[in-house]
Chains A and B, each alone.
Chain A
Amino acid sequence: MIQEKLYEDLLPRKFGRPGKIWVTVLVAICVVAAIAYYRQLKYGLSVTAMRDYMSWGIYISNFVFFVAISLVGSLISAILQLTQVRWSTPLTRIAEMIAVSAIIFAALIIIVDMGRPDRFMNVLIYGRIQSPILWDVIVITTYLALGLLFLYIALLPDLAIIIRQKGKVEAWVYRIAKILGSFWKGTPEQWKLQKSSIKILTLTIIPVALAIHTVTSWLFALTYRAGWDSTNFGAYFVSGAFLVGAAAVVVAMYVFRKFYSLQDYITDAHFNNMGKLVVMLALLYLYFNLNEYMVPAFKMKKPEEQHLRALFTGDFAPLFWIVIIMGMIVPIIVMLFPAGRKPLPMFLTGILIVVGAWLKRFLIVMPTLLHPFLPMSNVPDSYQHYFPTWEEWAITAGSLSGALLLVTLFARIFPIIPIEETIKERRKEELASLNQEYNELDETKQIIKPTPHQAYK
């Protein structure tokens, strides 16, 4: 009976009206992005505002953002699972879906940033292992492979459920499930292999996840540029990535809970726990920010001074303080209080963190490039400033929409909450409560206590 209700609640469902509007809007943005990218392919990178000095624009800041958000897969699925944090079980699939979508678009946006994408294969053919760019290519590919395997292997028992519940899902969803998971019979040997696979993945994905964002940070930190020349960068990037990833999961939790009516599965307790986690991560990130800005500001070396003044009081100051205050301090204050860890405040502060995180990546890339060591001279005015063109905005918005569309499609085809695991956990909970009841009765000698196996049955 409980199982039937779970199937009904958690099996993939048709989109309602809001879902259809959501998908239409995302597809429309992707179409505009495709037109903009066609123009970029046709006319080259001159359609962007990137010039000699600003050679990395919002494409790269968007790439860093995607890589950051993808780290959440390892946080929720691996770190929390490995440390036996059971409350995170309903969130694992959401985290993995976000991670895989984000890393796919991180890889795509890098290709978009290339003036000659047809030469992409040259990176693999002629790439030198000395180059951090090649490290990034390798580590992204590796993380994508691990993320997909994690998502797929964990999904196998749920695919079998979809196949068994043929009449309750659309035919095309059933067909996809059959192609991907018809071999899953749930035999003890298969379970054993699946569990050991998940265990191996959990252990492997953590160092790779740390590597992916550390390597991304090294793309900056291995150059001798004001604002990037920092030994703090790896940890600073990883902590920021965990924060934005966790915030993205909070936003997704709220949306799925609301539109799929999952209040029984993603409860206020989940938001409460995620809130505590986000506060901890925000404090950690704030600490690294303090390190990142206070240490050079104390010394104020000449090139750093220009960069820091631009951030603290110059052209980038409004954006900088919005990021620090709205993206870190306000969420910490809100989520410190139990009332702030309710679903709606969590959702709103989650959005603040995600937007702040995107702007933060913008602030990491732009001000440094606009403050080279040698003063800019004899260059057109457009070289000295950077404001993305409509093509850049469209492509960036398209990539974000694409990632959201991918998450939406995943949710349309596969269960957002792991059904099999939820059934097991519910049974465990029942068993625990039964055991408790029996224990109480046992004390009064009224009944013989059953074995756990009997109780389970």
Chain B
Amino acid sequence: MKTILRYPFYAYLFFFLGGALSGSISGKAQDKISPRLDVAYYQTDSAVRYLSLKVRQRVQKRFEPIAGAVVNVFLELPDETVKIGNVVSNAKGEGKILIGAKVLAAMHRLDEYSFYAEIPETDSLEEVTEYLVIKPSRLTLKTDDLDKSISVYLEAKTNGNWNPVEGAEVAVFIQRRFGKILVGESSMTDENGAVELAFDTKIPGDANGLLTLESAVEDHDEIGNVYATITTRWGLPMVASDQFMRRTLWGTRDRTPLWLLIFPNAMIAGVWGVIIYLIVLVFKMIRLSHKAT
């Protein structure tokens, strides 16, 4: 250090080159974003399987979405890797990819699904790869109309056998048009992979009182997100109060409320009756003039 200070020229050169070099390195690092990729697995009892992806970047202490990132998604089989497809992240940095029938058929033979997703290197993004290993599972939802009880069973496949999953958090919801209502509280599955719930909610269903119940295991480390639904007759039949064809202000012309027909029309008829009477009086005056002549 003393030597450097003794030779100011070299010192300047050292700092200049050092600064320039570090600047160019940090400049490169700033140009390319190192994205964070999250992959989640979703499965419903209607044989729909899909992967949800989230592409984000860290800006200061927050995560900001990255839009337009292309993500390739694969499933690893014992002897090959199958491409499920690719997805482009939307403005929220999110994307969803459905698993096609061919891949699904291959998945049935597996004891474990190994997905991986990659964002290839581009001018703006660094390459990133994310792995996701999921155990095959099945969620069964049953109801008993006698005592209005709900039973949920969760099983996972291990070494070709279906075994109950213990200690998984299961919630049961009532599906509504714009959201879901939780039934009771979410519970942990017992050693049989079961959860029992009583349904004691009075809630409107459709016109026939039908309600759709949904059981869900969400964000589980081994099985991902699994859903099952069942339709029951436990809702109160909903009678739609459609007044349109009745005698309302909004009704069609022939459905005008009676009071609105009677009173204004009576008033109109009354006033126009007076007008007609006055015109008759004018004609009477005309007739009187003939008499006078």
Contacts and interface: CB of A to CB of B under 8 A. Distances in A.
B281 A204 contact: no
Contacts of B265: 129
Interface string B252-287: 110011001100110010011011011101101110
Contacts of A142: 268, 271-272, 275
Contacts of A319: none
Nearest to A196: B281
A187 B284 CA distance: 12
B13 interface: no
A235 interface: no
A146 B275 contact: yes
A193 B281 contact: yes
Contacts of A262: none
A201 B257 CA distance: 31
A183 B285 contact: yes
B285 A190 contact: yes
B292 interface: yes
Contacts of A145: 272, 275
B60 interface: no
A190 B256 contact: no
Contacts of B290: 183
Counting contact residues on chain B (CB < 8 A from A), the size range is 20 to 34
Interface in A184-242: 184-185, 187, 189-190, 193-194, 196-197, 200-201, 204, 208
A376 interface: no
A382 interface: no
Given A149-B278, A149-B279, A208-B271, A194 B285 contact: yes
B288 interface: yes
Counting contact residues on chain A (CB < 8 A from B), the size range is 20 to 34
B271 to A, nearest CB: 6
B249 interface: yes
A183 B289 contact: yes
A242 B260 CA distance: 29
Interface string A174-189: 0000000011110101
Contacts of A138: 268
B159 interface: no
B293 interface: yes
A200 B257 CA distance: 32
A161 to B, nearest CB: 16
Interface string B226-252: 000000000000000000000001111
Contacts of B274: 200, 204
B253 A187 contact: no
Nearest to A182: B289
Given A130-B260, A194-B285, A185 B253 contact: no
Interface string A153-174: 1001000000000000000000
A146 B275 CA distance: 7
B33 to A, nearest CB: 31
Contacts of B272: 142, 145
A196 B249 CA distance: 40
B256 A156 contact: no
Contacts of A196: 281
A447 to B, nearest CB: 39
A185 B293 contact: yes
Given A129-B260, A135-B264, A153 B282 contact: yes
Contacts of B293: 185
A126 interface: yes
Nearest to A138: B268
A452 B282 CA distance: 32
Contact of A189 (B249, B256, B271, B288): B288
B256 A193 contact: no
Nearest to A131: B249
B135 to A, nearest CB: 48
Nearest to B284: A193
A258 interface: no
Contacts of A153: 278, 282
Nearest to B251: A130
A184 B285 contact: yes
Interface in A129-153: 129-130, 135, 138, 142, 145-146, 149, 152-153
Contacts of B288: 185, 187, 189-190, 193
A426 interface: no
A39 interface: no
Contacts of B257: 130
B267 to A, nearest CB: 8
Nearest to A142: B271
A309 interface: no
The 7 closest A-B pairs by CB, nearest first: A183-B289, A183-B286, A185-B292, A130-B249, A128-B253, A197-B281, A185-B289
6 contacts: A129-B260, A130-B249, A142-B272, A145-B272, A196-B281, A208-B271
Given A129-B261, A130-B251, A197-B278, 16 more contacts: A128-B253, A128-B256, A129-B260, A130-B257, A142-B268, A142-B272, A149-B275, A153-B282, A184-B289, A185-B289, A185-B292, A193-B281, A193-B284, A193-B288, A200-B277, A201-B278
Interface of A: 126, 128-130, 135, 138, 142, 145-146, 149, 152-153, 156, 182-185, 187, 189-190, 193-194, 196-197, 200-201, 204, 208
